[in-house]
């Protein structure tokens, strides 16, 4: 069994990064200076992850407020009021859809582009571009243009995500991370989840040479296995949050019928307490027993919910616990 560790989504902003955002907001530094300084911080972060043995990672998304934040500048949707991001004390701005969705080359691309340029070319294959999934976009949209959820889902998938991935690919990304917590959320209808799973499969088929990690988190149920199975492809890996009551049951069900590879959300992003090494190693053994040929272990969700020091502590612990097991 191939075993690797992977960092996904956002890393919590420390005070220095926070100050840069404040300076940009107040106009004390321009966009160019902001990005230069942020990217320097991101390079430091990924340097640490690289040296800890993480085989794949994002830039930590230090430049963005959250996974939905870049959507407004790239889709023409307006940034709306604050809405709670699932059951967390964390809020995002809902995209307001008042007209046809289309991909536009907005400011957010600069952050992806500049980071890529700054990152050593020979190690670029380790980078993942994080993007939101279509079901999550529908979940958080305040839509007054499309007549149904199905239409809105299709528009987010085909008019926005496919061209966005094409663009990111042309810029040099080969791996993508699709944040799709809503596909396992109880708030979403089974019908929409099923349509969403099929659409994700289509998106992945459009980029057969690229790797897609489909990140699900904060919930898991056996009912979701079927919807998720539509998105299982040669080039896709499912990410399951092991800190939900049915996380392992879902992993087991996927192993029996559909998946040979899995991403285990093994670090609880909502608790500062480090996971025990024995627990992490036990999970590796369990995945091996279930017959997975490839297992990726990482954080279960974006890490904004714990302070930076604790987040890094958890990532170090994962590296120590799992990579020593590998040896």
Partner 1 sequence: MKEIELPILPISVIGSYPKPKWLREAIRARAEGKIDEAHMEEAYNDAVSSVVREQELLGVDIPSDGEMRREEMVEYFAERIEGFKFFGKVRVWGNNYFRKPGIVGPLKWRGPMTVEEFKFLRSVSTSPAVKVPITGPYTIADWSYIIYYKSKEEATFEIAKIINRELKALEEAGANFVQVDEPALTTHPEEMEWAVEAINEAVRGLNIKVGLHVCYSDYRILKPYYDKLKVSQFALEFANRGFSDLEVIRGLNVELGFGVVDVHNRFVESPEAVEAAILKVLNYVKPECLYINPDCGLKLLPRKIAREKLRSIKIGTERVRKKLNEKGIIKTYLKSEVNCS
Sites of contact with partner 1 (CB under 8 A): 12-13, 15, 18, 21-22, 25, 65, 81-84, 87-92, 271-273, 304-310
* 54-56/2-6 β-pairing: parallel
Closest CB 84 distance from partner 1, rounded Å: 6
Give the Cα separation of 105 and 73 in Å (integer). 8
For partner 1, the closer of residues 65 and 294 by Cβ is: 65
| 249 contacts: CB under 8 Å, gap ≥ 6 | 220, 222
Closest CB 146 distance from partner 1, rounded Å: 17
For partner 1, the closer of residues 25 and 123 by Cβ is: 25
For partner 1, the closer of residues 186 and 327 by Cβ is: 186
Closest CB 47 distance from partner 1, rounded Å: 22
Closest CB 185 distance from partner 1, rounded Å: 12
For partner 1, the closer of residues 12 and 157 by Cβ is: 12
For partner 1, the closer of residues 25 and 257 by Cβ is: 25
Quick one: which of 157, 150, 216 has its CA closest to 189?
Answer: 150
Closest CB 92 distance from partner 1, rounded Å: 7
Closest CB 93 distance from partner 1, rounded Å: 8
Closest CB 64 distance from partner 1, rounded Å: 11
For partner 1, the closer of residues 51 and 89 by Cβ is: 89
Closest CB 90 distance from partner 1, rounded Å: 6
Contact present, 274 and 233 (Cβ < 8 Å): no
| 309 contacts: CB under 8 Å, gap ≥ 6 | none
Q: What are phi and psi of 173, to 5 degrees?
A: -80, 140
- Distances in Å between the Cα of 125 and the Cα atoms of 2, 9, 115, 116 are 18, 17, 13, 10
Closest CB 89 distance from partner 1, rounded Å: 5
* 294-299/261-267 β-pairing: parallel
Give the Cα separation of 225 and 145 in Å (integer). 31
């Amino acid at each position: 069994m191939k075993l690797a560790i992977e960092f996904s989504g956002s890393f919590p902003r420390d005070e220095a990064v926070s100050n840069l955002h404040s300076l940009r907001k107040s106009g004390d530094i321009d966009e160019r200076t902001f990005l230069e300084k942020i990217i320097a911080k991101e390079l430091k972060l990924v340097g640490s992850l690289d040296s800890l043995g993480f085989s794949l990672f994002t830039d930590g998304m230090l430049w963005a407020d959250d996974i939905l934040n870049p959507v407004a500048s790239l889709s023409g949707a307006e940034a709306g009021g604050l809405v709670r991001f699932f059951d967390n004390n964390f809020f995002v701005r809902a995209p307001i859809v008042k007209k046809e969705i289309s991909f536009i080359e907005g400011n957010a691309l600069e952050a992806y582009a500049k980071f890529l340029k700054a990152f050593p070319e020979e190690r670029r294959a380790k980078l993942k571009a994080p993007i939101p999934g279509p079901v999550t976009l529908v979940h958080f949209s305040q839509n007054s243009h499309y007549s149904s959820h199905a239409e809105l889902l299709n528009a987010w998938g085909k008019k926005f995500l496919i061209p966005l991935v094409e663009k990111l690919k042309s810029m040099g990304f080969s791996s993508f991370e699709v944040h799709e917590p809503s596909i396992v959320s109880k708030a979403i209808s089974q019908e929409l989840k099923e349509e969403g799973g099929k659409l994700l499969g289509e998106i992945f088929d459009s980029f057969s040479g690229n790797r897609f990690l489909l990140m699900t988190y904060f919930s898991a149920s056996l009912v979701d296995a079927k919807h998720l199975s539509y998105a299982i492809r040669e080039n896709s890996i499912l990410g399951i949050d092991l800190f939900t009551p049915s996380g392992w049951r879902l992993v087991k069900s996927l192993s029996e019928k559909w998946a040979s590879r899995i991403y285990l959300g093994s670090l609880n992003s909502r608790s500062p307490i480090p996971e025990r090494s024995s627990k992490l190693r036990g999970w590796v053994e369990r995945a091996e027993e279930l017959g997975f040929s490839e297992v990726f272990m990482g954080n279960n969700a974006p890490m904004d919910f714990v302070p930076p020091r604790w987040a890094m502590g958890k990532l170090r612990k994962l590296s120590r616990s799992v990579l020593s097991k590998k040896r």
